[in-house]
Amino acid sequence: MLTTFFRNKDYSGRSAAYLTWPDARLRAYLRGHGIPEDNLPTARPGLLQETRIRYVQTTNSAQAFLSRIRDSVNSGVELTEEKIHQILGLLTGTYEDTKTSGEKRTSEYEEDLRKKGEWVKGRAEDMRKKTEL
């Protein structure tokens, strides 16, 4: 009965996140919450106890969702670098598409201006010939 309650409420999944963190991350978390380096516990049980005291449970689904995303991103540096590379590729691809489109339009405008310039030059030549006569 009690395990069903916890499973349905997903309390176990939310509270165990910091239990899997390495010691360095626990220390960084505690430093981020105002504990000076000199006062940090040296053993893992002490780090976990201090983290447990300061660990804030997410209270709504949006915070839980963001927490899961943050944990996923923090779970692997290679994966994060790969995702950033993919995002950069998407942004660069969009930039390249825009750049190509702009270059095409520029060349079309240049061609149009060249034709109009030749037409004006031809008209000027015609006018000059008429005035010379």
1-27 per-position pLDDT tens digit = 455 544 445 554 555 578 888 999 999
Boundary (domain end) residue, out of 46, 75, 104: 75
Query: Mean pLDDT score of the chain, rounded to an integer?
Result: 76
- In this predicted structure, the answer to whether residue 77 has a pLDDT above a threshold of 50 is yes
Does residue 60 sit in the same domain as residue 108? no
Does residue 59 sit in the same domain as residue 92? no
**Residue whose token pair is 């006569």:** 133
Q: Both tokens of residue 44? A: 């893992």
Q: How far is residue 70 CA from its own chain's centroid?
A: 12
Q: Closest by alpha carbon to 19, among 41, 51, 43, 42?
A: 51
Does residue 5 sit in the same domain as residue 63? yes
Query: Residue 49 belongs to what domain range?
Result: 1-75
Boundary (domain end) residue, out of 30, 58, 75: 75
The stretch 105-120 carries a mean pLDDT of: 86
- DSSP conformational letter for 83: H
Does residue 47 sit in the same domain as residue 112? no
Does residue 17 sit in the same domain as residue 57? yes
What pLDDT is stored for residue 58 in this prediction? 40
Boundary (domain end) residue, out of 41, 59, 75: 75
Position with higher pLDDT, 95 vs 112 = 112
60: left (phi over 0), alpha (psi -120 to 50) or beta: beta
What does the alpha-carbon distance between residue 2 and residue 46 come to, in Å, rounded to a whole number? 29
Does residue 36 sit in the same domain as residue 96? no
Phi, psi of 59 (to 5 degrees): -110, -15
